[in-house]
Structure 1
């Protein structure tokens, strides 16, 4: 009976840490571990109970459940390859658009190596790649699942400032991805009685005719936002700079600590929230809708960004894995 409750340990820890500060990355790991343990215990309980009534059916269901693991790997690989083709068709051949394709090819290569595992060195290489893919997939799924939960959590305060993060222009025009962020910012501006001030944040890229903030301000003014409710931050080139320069923009004008709402796309809101915490910004981030075909590559890019933020921890874990792999050649 005690084993049935083992999932409560990470669940309780997650609830406590989430209530204290939802913008911590450890919440993502605890949340995913809780879901895995809960699902495994529920599935095991179901099979055990079923075996009391019909042992043969329970065995068939158990085997079927185990077969879902390799099947999910195959289906995920096919989807990643298909999504990579979609990204090239709709978004071009830039490296950032090919991440799902590379991820799928990496899984495909690892699966292919298992068919040559009768060669000692290939079997060892496949084992290493298995461990790295499992670790990478754990991180990726943790970020995606917690990111979705983080976005669904209701807003419980009225912000003083709404920061809309830039995401690139087409010449001097606001593309659909950025328009979704701006519309989300307007939605919250109106929801809170048109009281917050909107800060549009984004510098000018080498392929852009004007700064992102300037184009974003034009979009919002055309939508009817009063000019006195709009501030422009036009120097930033990264998410961290977006928030840092926006904070400085209004930092000297405040008698009390302001509360912020950072608006970005759904896949990016978790990392934006973590940066907010690091900078000491009160509030949270929210995500606007994103085209489904765009999400796999976007989440992979975000996962890489989150790993880089805490690279020392991941370097230690991967390093220990590689050392263990090297020692397996001799013991």
Structure 2
């Protein structure tokens, strides 16, 4: 049973870290390490298990991930084509297609190099696989914990429901993506009233972009009023231009009214975990909840969020990737 000690250790670290703050990225890494060491522990049991059970464990650890990788690449390519058809050919919309094509290219590259019989090419292949494995591990950690974090529920009373803005259609109209956030925010607001708690203020957050006729906060507030929300239940933060400013300026508004405020921040589900990390950094006292997003939109958006998180932790990530490249070069030169 000693083989399961590392998994148990990282599970404890995961639990302690989540209890400290659910908005930490290290929670995702601890979860991923727990699952990896659990898999290793299960593999150590294989020699002493009945054949059928041993086959199931090996399939779970090796076969399913391998087949899942191929299936994922096909899905991402298909999703990318859907994104291009519905949203246009912007670089952001091509992310899922490029990710799927990249997975297939990597598989073909490794299979081709494996047949070269060259130690130098073997070293290159090792470096590519290690780099890809590291990035893939972080992405799967991010994805798994983002889904887990997305199950966050509102507990107790809140003073504010902060809704983060995004670009307006035609300069003054709320687009479907933003309308989803507003519906979620209003649902939280109404649920708080229905349970007999305090009436939270709906804080719309977003300034006026260069191509917008009104501030996003104003357009959001007008949309909510048209949907029947009393105007006195609304507050506006209309200076912010970025998500960081959304959170910082909203915090200023809330603290000015009540330094001990408690809030819920609403954005779209693909953005919730990263926004939660940003809210923690900004000192916002509250969790982040996600609103529904069109299914075809979610994969590319999630990849974009991961790239942003990866870059935010670039000091560590570049250092580790650089070490992998150096190892690969050292292996090639030692031949």
Shift of 1:6: 3.6
The answer as to 2:70 corresponding to 1:71 is no
- State the alpha-carbon separation in 2 of the partners of residues 157 and 313 from structure 1: 37
* Contact 1:128 1:325 survives alignment (8 Å): yes
Unaligned 5+ segments in structure 1 are none
TM-score by length of 1: 0.90
The answer as to 2:249 corresponding to 1:245 is yes
The answer as to 2:84 corresponding to 1:88 is yes
Quote the RMSD (CA, aligned, Å). Answer: 2.2
- State the alpha-carbon separation in 2 of the partners of residues 225 and 48 from structure 1: 64
Deviations 1:140-164 (A, max 9, x none): 1111111111121332232111110
* Contact 1:273 1:285 survives alignment (8 Å): yes
> SS at 1:231's partner residue?
strand
* Contact 1:202 1:213 survives alignment (8 Å): yes
- State the alpha-carbon separation in 2 of the partners of residues 58 and 145 from structure 1: 26
* Residues paired across the two proteins, number: 325
- State the alpha-carbon separation in 2 of the partners of residues 5 and 115 from structure 1: 35
> SS at 2:81's partner residue?
helix
- State the alpha-carbon separation in 1 of the partners of residues 38 and 263 from structure 2: 35
The answer as to 2:319 corresponding to 1:321 is no
1:287 maps to which of 284, 287, 290:
290
CA 78–202 in structure 1, closer or farther in 2 if over 3 Å, else same:
same
CA 60–308 in structure 1, closer or farther in 2 if over 3 Å, else same:
closer
Shift of 1:112: 2.0
Unaligned 5+ segments in structure 2 are none
* Contact 1:268 1:302 survives alignment (8 Å): yes
- State the alpha-carbon separation in 1 of the partners of residues 117 and 245 from structure 2: 50
Equivalent positions of 1:12-51 (< 5 A) are 12-39=12-39, 41=41, 45=45, 47=46, 50-51=49-50
CA 312–159 in structure 1, closer or farther in 2 if over 3 Å, else same:
same
Equivalent positions of 1:91-130 (< 5 A) are 91-117=87-113, 118=116, 120=118, 122-130=121-129
> SS at 1:292's partner residue?
coil
- State the alpha-carbon separation in 1 of the partners of residues 121 and 111 from structure 2: 9
Deviations 1:279-327 (A, max 9, x none): 2221111111122211111111111111122211111111111111111
* Contact 1:116 1:123 survives alignment (8 Å): no
Equivalent positions of 1:1-331 (< 5 A) are 1-39=1-39, 41=41, 45=45, 47=46, 50-51=49-50, 55=51, 57=52, 61=56, 64-65=59-60, 66-117=62-113, 118=116, 120=118, 122-171=121-170, 172-193=172-193, 195-254=199-258, 256-331=259-334
Q: Which moved more, 1:151-160 or 1:318-327?
A: 151-160
- State the alpha-carbon separation in 1 of the partners of residues 4 and 263 from structure 2: 41
* Contact 2:154 2:264 survives alignment (8 Å): no
Shift of 1:134: 1.4
- State the alpha-carbon separation in 1 of the partners of residues 19 and 58 from structure 2: 39
* Contact 1:110 1:126 survives alignment (8 Å): no
Q: Which moved more, 1:151-160 or 1:293-302?
A: 151-160
> SS at 2:257's partner residue?
coil
- State the alpha-carbon separation in 2 of the partners of residues 9 and 266 from structure 1: 30
- State the alpha-carbon separation in 1 of the partners of residues 156 and 313 from structure 2: 29
Shift of 1:32: 2.1
* Contact 2:6 2:34 survives alignment (8 Å): no
